[in-house]
Amino acid sequence: MDEQDPPAEIEKELVEHALSDVLDSPIFRSSKQCQLLLRYIVDHSLARQDDLLRERVIGASVFDRPPDYDTGNDPVVRGRAAEIRKRLAQYYIDHQEDSAVQISIPSGSYRAVFSRNHRPHSAAQPDGVAENSEHSDILPFPVAPEAGGATASAEIIGAKPQIRQPLLRSWALWTVMIATLAVLGGGWAFQQWQAEGRKHLFEQFWAPFSKSSKPTLIYIGTSPSLRLSPSYLENYRATYPGLTPPPGTNIDLPTTGTISTSDLIPYNGSIGFGDVAATARVASLLMSLGQDYDLRYGSDISISDMRSAPVVLIGGYSNSWTLKVTHDLRYTLEDGERIVDNKDKSKEWKKMVNLSSVQQNDYAVVSRLTSSNTGGVVLVIAGIRGSGNQATADFLSDPQQLEKLLQTAPSGWERMNMQVVLQTETINGVPKGADVQAVYYW
C-alpha cells in the first residue's frame, strides 16, 4: 500500500467505485447506520468539507439528533465510527487486492483517507492491521488482547484455575455457523408456516419490528469476567518461559499460592454462547421478513437510539437495559435465579439445578412492549441463563408455536403490551422446545 494521497490526487470515480463495493459487501449490508455514516464521511471528505465532519454536525445530519445534543451522553457517532473502522479492516483483509483505492478513517478523526493500492497479490495484511488486531472481528464480541497477550479473561475453577483469553476468530466462526444454520432453519419454518396458513398471527406479532421504516436495533447484553493484569502475565512468562502458551489459549496457574486482587482486572465485555445463538436466530428471522437490523452491545446504545427505532433486547441478568425496561412489569427477574409474579407473590419460576449435564431447564420472560418506558417499541428476550435465551428465540421464530400462543389472545392484542413466561429445555446444548407457563396482556 503506497502512502496516503489527498482526494484531489485520486480520481473521484475510483473512490466512488471503491465505496460502492464496500457498501454492497455483506460486512456493511447488515448495518444501514454504518452505510449511511461511511457514505457521508466519504462524500464530505472528497469535497474537503471538514466543517461538516465534526461529531455534533454528523450526529444531527446522519442520526437525526438535535443540533445542540449532548455528545457526551449520546456517543452514537463515536460508536458507529469505531464500528466502521473494524468493518473496513475486515473488508480489506478479504478484499485487499480487489480495489485500486482503499478507504480508511484514522482514529480520532471523522475524515476519510484514500490510499492507492499498487501492492502485488500476496497474503500480507492491510497496512495498520496486525494479525491479532482488534479489527480482525466485525461482530460485537470481547476486544482481542494487546500484542503479547497483555490481557486475558479469567475463570477460576476449583484449586487449579484457568485463564482464558477471548478468541475473536473462534467467536466469529461460531457466529457465522450459527447464523447459517439459523437461516436454513428459519427458511424451513417459513415454508411450513405458509403451507399451514399461519402467516397472519406470526406477522402481527413481528409487525412492529419487520414493518418499521428504520432497521431494528438488536442489543446484546454482556457478562462480567476477570482478566489478569499485564504485570502478572509478564512475571508469569519470566517464571515459566517454557510453559507459556501463545495468546488465545489457556494458562494453567500454580496450585499453590495466591493471586492479588490488584492482578484481577474486572472486564464486562463477555458474551454468552446462548445470547449469540439467540441473536443469530432473531437476525435471520428479520432478514427473512425483509427487515434490516443494526447489531449493538456494551455501551454502544443510548436512550435516543431506543426511541428512534424498534429494539430487540437479548439477555436477562447480563443485559442492563432489559432490567431497566422490565423492572416495573408484572413478570420480572429477581435474585439471579428466578422469575416472580409481582401481582401474585406466591408464584415464581426458579431455575432447576439438580439436572444432569445433558439436560438443562431454564425459565425466560418474553416482553413485547408497544409502549415501553423508553418511549419506543421493544421486544425483550430474558432467560435466567443463556440457554433460555436461545430456546426462547427459537420459540418466537416458530410460526406454529406463536400461533398456538396467540389463538387465545384478547381482541386487539397486536396493539397491546404482553408478557409470556416460558419454561425452556436444552439437551446437549440444543434447544428442544419451550412450554408456556403464564401470559399477560394489558
**Interatomic CA distance for residues 137 and 127, integer angstroms:** 16
pLDDT, residue 341, reads 96
pLDDT, residue 135, reads 34
Give the number of other Cβ atoms within 10 Å of residue 37's Cβ: 23
pLDDT (tens, 9 = 90+) of the chain, 442 residues, equals 444 555 445 678 889 999 999 999 888 887 888 899 999 999 999 999 999 999 999 999 998 888 888 887 788 898 888 889 888 888 887 776 677 888 999 888 899 998 887 554 443 343 433 333 333 333 333 333 333 333 333 333 233 333 333 334 444 445 555 555 555 555 555 555 444 445 689 999 999 999 998 899 999 877 666 777 778 777 877 777 766 665 555 677 767 777 888 888 776 666 777 888 889 889 989 988 889 888 887 777 778 878 888 999 999 888 889 999 999 999 999 888 899 999 998 899 987 655 555 666 789 999 999 988 888 899 999 998 888 888 899 999 999 999 999 999 999 999 999 999 999 876 766 677 889 999 999 9
* 299-323 per-position pLDDT tens digit: 777 788 788 889 999 998 888 899 9
**Interatomic CA distance for residues 389 and 372, integer angstroms:** 21
Handedness of CA 368, 369, 375, 381 (dihedral sign): negative
Q: Is 273 exposed, middle or buried (0-12, 13-18, 19+ CB in 10 A)?
A: middle
pLDDT, residue 124, reads 39
pLDDT, residue 149, reads 34
pLDDT, residue 103, reads 92
pLDDT, residue 115, reads 85
pLDDT, residue 196, reads 47
All cell numbers assigned to 314: 437479548
Domain boundaries, the chain: 4-136, 185-223+271-441
Question: Residue 341: phi, psi to the nearest 5?
Answer: -100, 110
* 316-344 per-position pLDDT tens digit: 888 889 999 999 999 999 888 899 999 99
Q: Rounded to two decimals, what is the model's pTM? A: 0.54
| Relative orientation angle of helices 168-195 and 199-210, to the nearest 10 degrees | 140
